[in-house]
Each structure stands twice: as structure tokens, then as C-alpha cells.
A and B are shown apart, each in its own frame.
Chain A
Amino acid sequence: MLELSINGGAYESRAEVGKTLLEVLRDELGLTGTKLACGEGHCGACTVLLDGAPALSCITLAHTVGTRDVTTIEGLRDHPLVGAFVRADALQCGFCTPGQIVSAVALVEANPSPSRDEIRHRMAGNICRCGAYPRIEEAILAWRG
């Protein structure tokens, strides 16, 4: 039995060895806010936090998570960044957005006043095909409202 700490709660999973954290989150626990878009660690749509650091859940094996706290978009729904993204119109189709917000949370928790260059560096792993980037930058600059 695999024990996981997710969004402050304890979960038990019967996931076989080889399952990814993304599969456990989405398929077993129904936490579908974390998206599967490439499955190979190239796009950032599956980003979650492990002890506060961004991680790509589609290439993270569930059995390697150990005692680290997993935070998904479901655990960040009331974070001010969510409202900041909506106000800035920082999303279009929205499929990459939870991953963008999770990455942005890690960024602002480490540095509450990031510069444009820091945002561009730290967010470059999250692809948005709709191209909402200018507004994502604005949302993160103005995240505290």
C-alpha cells in the first residue's frame, strides 16, 4: 500500500509500481485539475508541488514521492493567483492553466515580487498553445491584487 499526502490529506493507493503520480491523481483520486497533455515531461500541464517545489507529475513515479507533501491545483483553488489569472485574462482554452498556476505559486512563494525576467525564466517550462503568455506575465506581476 502506497501512502500519499495530498493537499493536506492522507491517501492510500494500490497503484502498481510503474504508475505515475499523474495517473494516481487523475485516475484513482479523481483530481482531474492536473492535466495530461504530453505525458513526456515537455509541456508543464501536469505540474504539481512536491514539498513546495514544482514537479512534472507525468514523469514522476508515484512510488518515488515518499513522504513529500503533494499539492495540486485542487489544493490551491483559493490562492490569490487564481483570481489574478482570471482578472488579467491569462487563460484562453484553460487546459494548461492549472499547471501554469501551480508553477506560478512556486515562483511567488519563493519570491513574492518576481521581475519580468524571473517570470520568463521560471515559467518557460509551461507551454500555452493559445499564447496567453503576455497576460500570464501580467497576472503574476499583479498576483497580490
Chain B
Amino acid sequence: MARLIKTEKEVEGRYEETWVVVEEDVLDQWPAGPLEVVGRDAERIDGLERARGEALYTADLKLPGMLHAAVLRSPYARAHVKRIDLEPALAAPGVRAVAGPGDVHVLTDSPGYPGQAVAAVAAETFHQAREAVKLIDVEWDVLEPLLDPEEAIARGELVEEPRRYERGDLERGLAEADVVVEAEYRTQTLLHNSMETHQSICRWHGDGKLDVYISTQFIWGVRDSVASQLGLNPDDVRVVCEFMGGGFGSKNGPGDYTYIGAELAKRSGRPVKCALTRREENTATGNRNATIQRLVAGAKADGTLTALGGDYVNAVGWAGFSPMTGGPMQYLYACDNVRVVEHGAKLNTPPNAAFRAPGFVEGTFGLECILDELAAKLGVDPLELRRLNYADDDADGRSYSSKNLAECYRLAEPHWARRDDVHARSEGQWKRGIGLASQVWFGGGGPPSYAWVRIGADGRATVVTAMQDIGTGSRTAMAQIAAEELGLPLDRVDVVLGDSARGPYASISAGSSTIPSMGPAVRSAAADAGRQLLEIAAQRYDKEQRVLSLKGGNVVSQDGGSWPLAGLCELLGDGQILGSGARGPNPTGMRILTFGVQVAEVAVDVETGEVRVERVAAIHDVGRIVNPLGARSQVEGGIVQAIGHTLSEDRLIDPQTGIVLTQTLDAYRMPTIADVPEIVAEFVDEPDKHLTNLGSKGLGEPPIIPTAAAIANAIRDATGADVRSVPVTREEMLRALREARVGAIPA
């Protein structure tokens, strides 16, 4: 039954209370552990299509008559357009439409960051469009940019009001402490750099309806945003994304390119593709903002935490949001006295965008490093210190829907016990060490989300829902869930997704929410279809329905009868079984979180400052694991990205002009296959008994969260040096070594 409830919705740490229509979740959870299909390794059902180069991404689509757009972006961090002449561009070869400041809301005459869109051209070829953009004549008034986040805070230039969280009394907690550590940590600006750049194709129909083919993490969000901005009915906008080449949080909305494409398509009467170049990708599509974290931690001599304080500066940029950088400090430990203040600095730098656990990646670096500094001062084992301060319930009065972090710690023991062996392998200038860090994050998903399941005379089931698979393998997970519920082998289930006109509403693929939001809806739809199949089977085989079930591709009776499902389905002829399902509500008043711990082993060359990560063991608690093979891949991928964040990636700007200096992939250094350590991924794999008919939480973000701190703590273990800033370049490593006065470092 559908009902209207007021519920808290969380996406990437931001909560809002909304009314939601939900349907009751009537199915009991499956038992824990591997089932027939769910809980067992499954190859990606679209793996061959992708590997053979047959999958069509937005980048590969070409509509009849399609034009290509190029965008004039501000070469200055802050400027005003005194005069602009678009005519030379309009007269250039192949050009069919131009638009300038004010023609679309995303084109401005007062750019506030380098790369902000000012004007755009659509032409027969991208080359022609780009050449025409060069002909646009602009007279600029170049203004002084604001680039220093601390200066912005001092001046009150903020993207939003500071967020404060407080429990107990921080000063009292510090007074009670036997040991206090204060330290400042810094994290850098990072770029998503999905392999498929941000892009879309817009096509208007004569009746005023708009098709948007787009590389996106949220089909329905794009539909609603575009409709609202352009004054259309939501259903007048059709959004399509069948295959997409990565997003990591940067593709949650339509972006400037979609509005530019829609306007140029309207002006030209032709479909327009607006595909950003790699250089635009590295300036104009968002980033993980830099942070400055001033932290304090106090503890009794026995290791009991008495105080945790964090003053955080998020260098947000021209627009965006101020992430929950203090979230880990708020959630991870039992500590009576906690104070967190987060400031979001508004700067003349490109806007931030959600990037795989925004805030928590940065905040966990600071928190888990200062905890190890505290452990060293106390003379307490770092793992023991974390166990001593274990939070059994949420400090704000909510119970956890499930929490198995203690089990993660237990599973980490054999990896942590390698400590002596790791130290013993230090050799000459290469010092080896081991470090760990804990992880907390959201990942519970929520309603609304819907799915349909269709079964035809061929005995195959098709899941239909307008979600997107951004590369995480969610398409495969949905097929597994439907196969399990229908007692079908995986190769008899198809999944049709990616089109708002051809499937029901589906949630965003961000905030580690696809499996926890969509999985229960798919199971519910499959159960509805299965019930209908059994109704027919009861009549056909003259049995009571309650003794029948679906198993191994058969209809099975408790009294021993078994009939191939394919035979039953043949009776359908052109008829179809149509099941529908919805995501039920989240448990009220409970905190739904994911947990984990990672143990990193590093080697540090104390003469050159080179750091090599040699091994990372990851143990995560995200409820039931649907596809262990895909889950391990997800963990490995998160750790690889985190190693880039920790050691090599850095979006640099010119400190005077604010121009982005790292616009290409030789300058912005992402990990390659040669940088990858041994990675061990383990799971607690215990269904969350309070969460949906599936008991699964999301895994997209957790693995990237604790890695940087685990590496930094391993560096301290190896060398005694406190690394408090990422990336740990050789310069930073040598600076930390000098400070710690270890190794034979020339001055």
C-alpha cells in the first residue's frame, strides 16, 4: 500500500526532510550469506559490450543533422566583459548559431572563475566551432581575483553560513585531558577526470519537447532541472544515458553544456552536441575542494578521548557547497566533547562538485592522522586506541541500523600483525612502515525508486527502470537481484535502463545509493512478477499456490513436483507478466552508516623522499554484498584513486592570476597501472536487518575514504615524520623528515 510519510533524505551527508510517497516493504530479507545468484561472483552482464567497443556512450552518439558546440570560457579568474562582438563568429565557415552573455543563464558577462562560460558557437564540425570561438571579439576588464581561502573567510566571502556541530564542552574536555595534540592538516584541490568528458546532445521536437542525451549520474535530476530552468513540463524533457564513462560525483546535474546545447539547438533548429574537451574538464566541471583543518584532540592517559575539535576551511570556489569535512569527527568516535565548525570560502576559482565522499575523504585524513599522533604520545597501539573509543550508538540519540566496525577491526588484526615483518624489511635508505585508518560514511539510499519486471513467453525476465550504470556494475547487481527472486539463472535476466521515457523513476547514482535505493525496488518488482507466475502455475498444475515456489528455472512444489518455468511461460503466447515494485521507507530514527578500516604498508626513501605504497588491506561493512567480484573491483578502484589523491594528484593554480595550470593529463598526474600496490579487499557481509528487503548499503565511496590517512600513518610508522599535507610529494616528504630530524638529509 502506498502511504505518505515525512522522512529524512540524505545525499552525501546532506540531510533534508521531505514528504515522500512510499510503498510498504512487505518482503522478508533473504538469509545472510551467498544465495543462488546474490552473494556470488558475477561477470558484468554488459562487460562484453563495453570491452568490444560496442557500447554506445553519449560521446559515440551522432544524431541526423547534429551540430557541434564550442564554448568561449573566461581566460581570467575574475573579469567583466566590457564589449563583445559575436558577429565574426556567426559569419565563420560552418557556423549555424551563436549565443552570448545573457542569452542563456549559464553565459555570463561577469565571470567569477577561469573557465566560466561566456559565449558559445554551434557549427557543422567541432573544428569549425572552435575556430569560430577564436573570432569572438571581447574587450575585457580584468579584475583582482580573490584566491586565498583564509582571506575570504576573514572578509565574510562565504558560499553558505558556517556549519557548527557541538556536543558537550570542548574546553572542559581539553581541561580533563592528560595528553593534548594540536595540528594543522591541509588537503589539495582534486579533479575527477572521468574518462568520458562532460557532454550532452540536445534535440528539440516541433511540439516543444526536448531530448537530452547526456553522460550523467542522475537521469531524473537532469530531467527536473532542465524542465524547471526552461519552463517545461518535466515529462516534456526526455533524458537518455545508456552507457556512461565515469562521473565520481561530477555529473549529478545538467551542467552549463546542456543549457548551452539546448539554446544553440533552439537557435539552429538542429540537434547540438556540446562535448567538453579535456582542458575544459580540468577547469570548468568541478573539483574536490582544498581544505585547511585546525584540529585538537585530547585524551586521558588510558586512551579515553575527552575532546575533539575541528575548525575547517573548505576552499569551495565560485559556487558549490561546503562539504561535511567535520563529519568523520562528528560520527566516528565516542567522545563526550566535540566541536566542529566548517567554513565554505567563496573564491574566484572553479566551483567544487561532489567528488566521491566529499568532505569525508578530506576530514578523515585529518582526524585519523591526529588520532595516530595522539596514540604515539600516549604510547597506545593505534588499533587499540580506536577500539577504546568505539561508539556503540550515535551520540545524538539515534541507534545504528547496523554497525560491524568492531568486526572490521577484528578482521584487520592479521594485516596489522604484519607490523614487525614490515619493519624488518626496512633496508638502507628505504624505511618501511604500516598504518591504519577507520572509515565512516553514509550509503543507506532511500525512497522513492521504482522498477518493473517483465516476463514473456521465452521465459526470460527483463528489469525495466530508468536508472543509470555509471560504471559501478549496478546493471549487473539488479539482474542478480531479480534472478535470485525469480529463481532464474543470471543469463536469463536482462536489464533495460537509461531512458526517462521508457522506465520509472530511479534514484541518483551518487552517495553510494544505487544498490540500497534501487536493489529493493527491483526485488519487490521481481517478487510481484513471481507471485503472478505462481498464480498461473497453481491453475496449470492444479496445486495450491502456497506450496509452489520458483527455483533453478523451475516451478517447484513442496510435494516434490517440478516443472520448467519455460514451459509455463510458453502458455503466455504474446501475453506478458508485468511486475512492479518500489523502494520502501528507511527505518525511522536510525542512523544508517557504512564503516570500515584499511591497513596500508609503505616504503619511504628517506634520501629522495619517494613514497611507495606496497600493500593496502581493506575491510568494509556495507551490509549484504550482492556481487563479491564487483565489490572487490569497487574497493580496488577506490584505493587506486585514493593513492593518486595521496601521492601525486594536485590541481594547481597560478597564485597571482588564478589560472589553472594543470589542464592536461601529463600535468595532472593520475595513477597508472605501475603505481598499484597489492590490494586485499574483505567484507563483513552481514545484512543490515533494519534496512529494506535487501539489507545492502552502498560501496561506491567507502573505499576511498581512509586510504590517505592510513598511508600517512604508515609513513610516520616508517620514518617518525608527521606528514600533514597531501599530496605527499617528495618535497613534502623531505620537509616532514627534516622536521622530524631523521635520516641523513642534506640541508
B177 → chain A, closest Cβ, in Å?
40
Q: What are the residues of chain B within 8 A of A38 when measuring CB–CB?
A: 278, 664-665
**For chains A and B in complex, what number of residue pairs have CB atoms within 8 angstroms?**
166
Most central of A89, A91, A125 by chain B CB within 10 Å: A89
Which of B47, B57, B59, B471 has a CB less than 8 Å from the CB of A130?
B471
Most central of A27, A42, A45, A131 by chain B CB within 10 Å: A131
Task: Please state if B51 and A35 are interface contacts (CB–CB under 8 Å).
Answer: no
A82 at the B interface (CB under 8 A): yes
Bound CA span A32–B674, Å = 28
Bound CA span A94–B48, Å = 10
Bound CA span A77–B48, Å = 9
A37 → chain B, closest Cβ, in Å?
5
A15 → chain B, closest Cβ, in Å?
12
B55 at the A interface (CB under 8 A): yes
Q: Which of B186-204 contact A (CB under 8 A)?
A: 192-197
Task: Please state if B278 and A86 are interface contacts (CB–CB under 8 Å).
Answer: no
Q: Which of A67-114 contact B (CB under 8 A)?
A: 72-74, 77, 82-83, 85-87, 89, 91-98, 101
Task: Please state if A43 and B195 are interface contacts (CB–CB under 8 Å).
Answer: yes
Q: What are the residues of chain A within 8 A of B246 when measuring CB–CB?
A: 92-93, 95, 129-130
Which of A27, A86, A87, A127 has a CB less than 8 Å from the CB of B665?
A127
Which of B51, B636, B638, B664 has a CB less than 8 Å from the CB of A42?
B664
Bound CA span A120–B462, Å = 40
CB-nearest residue of chain A relative to B643? A131
Most central of B193, B665, B670, B679 by chain A CB within 10 Å: B665
Task: Please state if A132 and B195 are interface contacts (CB–CB under 8 Å).
Answer: no
Bound CA span A126–B52, Å = 16
With contacts A33-B54, A34-B53, A93-B244 known, is A130 near B665, CB below 8 A? Answer: no
Task: Please state if B50 and A91 are interface contacts (CB–CB under 8 Å).
Answer: yes
Q: What are the residues of chain B within 8 A of A137 when measuring CB–CB?
A: 673, 676
Task: Please state if A94 and B243 are interface contacts (CB–CB under 8 Å).
Answer: yes
Task: Please state if A92 and B472 are interface contacts (CB–CB under 8 Å).
Answer: yes
A121 at the B interface (CB under 8 A): yes
Task: Please state if A86 and B471 are interface contacts (CB–CB under 8 Å).
Answer: no
Which of A32, A77, A96, A131 has a CB less than 8 Å from the CB of B638?
A131
B640 at the A interface (CB under 8 A): yes
CB-nearest residue of chain A relative to B194? A129
B424 at the A interface (CB under 8 A): no
Q: What are the residues of chain B within 8 A of A40 when measuring CB–CB?
A: 278, 664-666
Task: Please state if B51 and A129 are interface contacts (CB–CB under 8 Å).
Answer: no
Task: Please state if A131 and B44 are interface contacts (CB–CB under 8 Å).
Answer: no
A136 at the B interface (CB under 8 A): yes
Bound CA span A26–B57, Å = 13
B257 → chain A, closest Cβ, in Å?
16
Please tell me the size bucket of the interface on B. 35 or more
Task: Please state if A86 and B44 are interface contacts (CB–CB under 8 Å).
Answer: yes
B371 at the A interface (CB under 8 A): no
CB-nearest residue of chain B relative to A19? B127
Task: Please state if B53 and A132 are interface contacts (CB–CB under 8 Å).
Answer: no
Task: Please state if B671 and A89 are interface contacts (CB–CB under 8 Å).
Answer: no
A8 at the B interface (CB under 8 A): no
With contacts A89-B630, A94-B51 known, is A129 near B673, CB below 8 A? Answer: no
Task: Please state if A82 and B51 are interface contacts (CB–CB under 8 Å).
Answer: yes
B607 → chain A, closest Cβ, in Å?
24
CB-nearest residue of chain A relative to B245? A95
Contact with A along B53-92 (1 / 0, CB 8 A): 1111101101000000000000000000000000000000
Bound CA span A76–B55, Å = 15
Q: What are the residues of chain B within 8 A of A91 when measuring CB–CB?
A: 44, 47, 50-51
B516 at the A interface (CB under 8 A): no
With contacts A85-B47, A86-B43, A132-B636 known, is A96 near B195, CB below 8 A? Answer: yes
Task: Please state if B674 and A121 are interface contacts (CB–CB under 8 Å).
Answer: yes
Bound CA span A80–B473, Å = 22
Task: Please state if B636 and A134 are interface contacts (CB–CB under 8 Å).
Answer: yes
Task: Please state if B673 and A94 are interface contacts (CB–CB under 8 Å).
Answer: no
B641 at the A interface (CB under 8 A): yes
Task: Please state if A39 and B278 are interface contacts (CB–CB under 8 Å).
Answer: yes
Q: What are the residues of chain B within 8 A of A126 when measuring CB–CB?
A: 672-673
With contacts A35-B195, A37-B195 known, is A92 near B633, CB below 8 A? Answer: yes
* Pairs A-B, 8 closest by C-beta atoms: A33-B53, A93-B471, A131-B640, A94-B50, A95-B245, A131-B637, A86-B47, A42-B665
Question: Could you write out 6 A-B pairs with CB less than 8 Å apart?
Answer: A32-B56, A40-B664, A77-B52, A93-B244, A97-B53, A131-B671
* 19 new A-B contacts at CB < 8 Å, known A91-B51, A130-B246, A135-B636: A37-B195, A37-B196, A38-B665, A40-B666, A42-B278, A77-B54, A89-B44, A92-B246, A93-B195, A93-B246, A93-B470, A94-B50, A123-B673, A124-B674, A127-B665, A129-B192, A129-B194, A133-B640, A136-B673
